[in-house]
Structure 1
Amino acid sequence: MTASDPTRGRPAGPRITVEVPALRVGAGLADYEGLNRFVDSLRKPSGLHMTLLHVGVLDHLVADIEAWTRGLSTADKVLPEIVSWLTELPVLGGFLGKSGRLIPLGGGRLMGLEVDVPQEVHDYQALLVQGLHVLLDDLGLDNIDDFILSSPALGYRSPRWLPHIAVGKARSRHEEPIEIAPVAIEFGDSRIRNRQALPSAQ
């Protein structure tokens, strides 16, 4: 799934995602820094990651669910269920991917490495989406696909998940995909970004 900016027009808060950190791009730092020929403001290597599922700001997601169910699913029921689901997710072990192309992201504002990943990564990401469906069904939502694609908190614009790593700013909003020398990418175990912000972790 592809996510847009889920907090536009709402008070900011920590975004919750399920992601894998990119531990190494290419043979070393020089390979990664070589991408600055194609993008502006190259991101720090320590912050590189690939998002598997965007959950969004929890308060915003709870409000979207309450609105969708017309108040039948209330915050005191919804929030603990979401947190429990997140913290009980299985961990995807580290893996190797590869990339040979930079692509525009975020409506052309960013550039990212399009990543080829093993089938088990696609299977895990599909498991996350299926689990989200089950969770939302348990919370009393109907037309769940419509909710996922329309929820401002979730912020999805497309049901198709494109594995990628955002690496820097695009030099123009009309940037075309750029073919690069293929690089291997090492990923670590899956994790919940901003896990410390979950109520049960406080």
Structure 2
Amino acid sequence: MATMTASKPVGSKSEGPRITVEVPVLRIGEAASDYEGLARYVDSLRNPPGLHLTLLHVGILDDLAQDIVAWTKGLSSPEKTLPEIASWLTELPVLQGFLGKSEKLIPLGGGRLMGLEVDVPQEVHDYQALLVQGLHTLLDDLGLDNIDDFILSSPALGYRSPRWLPHIAVGKARTRHEPEMEIAPVAIECGDSRIRNGQALPSAK
């Protein structure tokens, strides 16, 4: 189990597993060749068993704790916040598996990656909105103010926009200015939601 401390200076980066709420990608297209064909557009196509769609990025917990400490000027300590965050995550309801579709490759990560933009059912959007609402309530209980501003500015949470865009990172972009690309429509099957690196969560108290 990872050790969570507050000994690092605010703003420093911790080493540790990134925590996300995500769904695994079980299938893209009708055959393996449908996914392999994306190698025409991207470099270093990712291994299919590792593909996932992120619903909520929580980040490295030590870094999130430091972001909260800085925002609350030390009033919310990691010893209090980390078990509360862990408890909230482990008690989340599970989103059942679903089918989606993609017709577009888009640049991600400032242009370093390419991903499939995914059309998902409304219940997936509703679940993701539930996650953000729950995060908002959790942060309010931890004593944060201006929570929308915190969520968008926290380096650990990593939000760049208040709008959630479902996507699956599939490989490296060939250039830093790669444009969006239309592709032949492919069906995407996703499994039940899970906590990535959940074994690294501290014990809730």
| TM-score, normalisation: structure 1 | 0.94
Secondary structure (helix, strand or coil) at the match of 1:149 reads: helix
Q: CA RMSD in A?
A: 1.2
Alignment of 1:5-24 (within 5 A): 10-24=13-27
Q: 1:9 deviation in Å? A: 5.8
> Counterpart amino acid of 1:94?
G
Q: Counterpart of 2:36?
A: 33
Query: How much identity, in percent, do the aligned residues show?
Result: 81
Q: 1:67 deviation in Å? A: 1.1
Q: Counterpart of 1:4?
A: none
CA contact (8 A) 2:21 2:195 kept: yes
Cα distance in 1 for partners of 2:203, 2:77 equals 18
Cα distance in 2 for partners of 1:126, 1:49 equals 18
Q: 1:66 deviation in Å? A: 1.1
Q: Counterpart of 1:139?
A: 142
Q: Counterpart of 1:157?
A: 160
Secondary structure (helix, strand or coil) at the match of 1:80 reads: helix
Secondary structure (helix, strand or coil) at the match of 1:153 reads: coil
**In the alignment, structure 1 residue 77 sits paired with structure 2 residue 60:** no
Cα distance in 1 for partners of 2:64, 2:82 equals 9
**In the alignment, structure 1 residue 49 sits paired with structure 2 residue 52:** yes
Q: Counterpart of 1:196?
A: 199
Q: 1:155 deviation in Å? A: 1.3
1:44 and 1:87, CA in 2 relative to 1: closer, same or farther beyond 3 A? same
Cα distance in 1 for partners of 2:155, 2:197 equals 19
Q: 1:63 deviation in Å? A: 1.0
Secondary structure (helix, strand or coil) at the match of 1:166 reads: strand
1:24 and 1:149, CA in 2 relative to 1: closer, same or farther beyond 3 A? same
Deviates more, 1:138-147 or 1:62-71: 62-71
Q: 1:165 deviation in Å? A: 0.2
> Counterpart amino acid of 1:115?
V
Deviations along 1:129-183, whole A, 9 cap, x unmatched? 0000000000000000110111111111111100000000000011111111100
1:25 and 1:91, CA in 2 relative to 1: closer, same or farther beyond 3 A? same
Task: Name structure 1 gaps, 5 residues minimum.
Answer: 1-7
Alignment of 1:70-149 (within 5 A): 70-149=73-152
Q: 1:52 deviation in Å? A: 0.3
